[in-house]
Amino acid sequence: MHNQSKSLRKALREQSEVELNKNVWGYTLSSKSNTFFLSLGLDILDQMDSTQQDSLGSKSGMLHFVNLLGTSSRIFRRDIPTAVGVTLYCDEDICVPVIDMNLNKKTGIDASKDIAFRQVKAREKFALSLYEFMFLVIKDEYAGFIEANGNPRGAYLSVKSPAFFKGKTKLPTPTITFRYGSGPIKYHFVVIDEQSSFDGKWFVKKGFKRFAELIPKRKQHLLNKVTTIINENQKLKSKNLILQRENVNLNNCFAEFVRILET
């Protein structure tokens, strides 16, 4: 890792502002912002000792890419679905992030408040939004990489950041990219929604109800709206349960305080 860091830094120094498509270390530096992030990452690497560097990405080969999740109700271009998530599985039990689907680059995501976690068994497939994926793989043990196409680092987190750098968004846009030479990742889409033949509205397929809120409201089928309402009710119930627990704790504290005063 240390020698690779040096070679990549040398390549970055040699790269001119005009020549921004040079392939380095199997990856393409396609923009100034990407180059900035790589340089920033290398600065962090320089502050680590060799043992810490060698531990980075130590579990990337245990986290496996299955497919991208896309919605056809939001076409990206040329009939390509808009990527909204990813299906993965891990060789060991794993704790994965859970983030409200309404939180995104525009709203921002507070890592200390907006992220819950759930446990997933080893080898069990699970679906994440792209933001959940981002907050999972930025951990040191993955270092942004996951296994794909038989390569322990065959896919990686890539972010679109021009709007973020201009202050137009609060987060960069997370995407997943195959390592150079592995072919386009767009051929690995699973579409999670479908269009009603009756009214042309859209709803999520079975097994993807968490993603219902990502279908534009004006395009939502009644079934999808019901799913969205159910999701919102579940969130409210969870919040109410937390408030009830906090209220019980406050009552217990107050009772203990009164008991101390009376003694």
pLDDT digits (tens, 9 = 90+) for 17-41: 333 344 444 445 555 666 777 777 7
SS3 state of residue 126: strand
Let me know if 136 is exposed, middle or buried by CB neighbors in 10 A (0-12, 13-18, 19+).
buried
Which stretch, 3-12, 107-116, 217-226, has highest mean pLDDT? 107-116
Domain residue spans in the chain?
2-55, 60-225
Which pLDDT band holds residue 3 (cuts at 50, 70, 90)?
low
- For the entire predicted model, the pTM comes to 0.73
Half-sphere exposure of 3 toward its Cβ, with a 13 Å CA cutoff? Answer: 0
What is the spatial distance between Cα 253 and Cα 261, in angstroms, rounded to a whole number?
Answer: 12
Evaluate if residue 139 carries a pLDDT over 70: yes
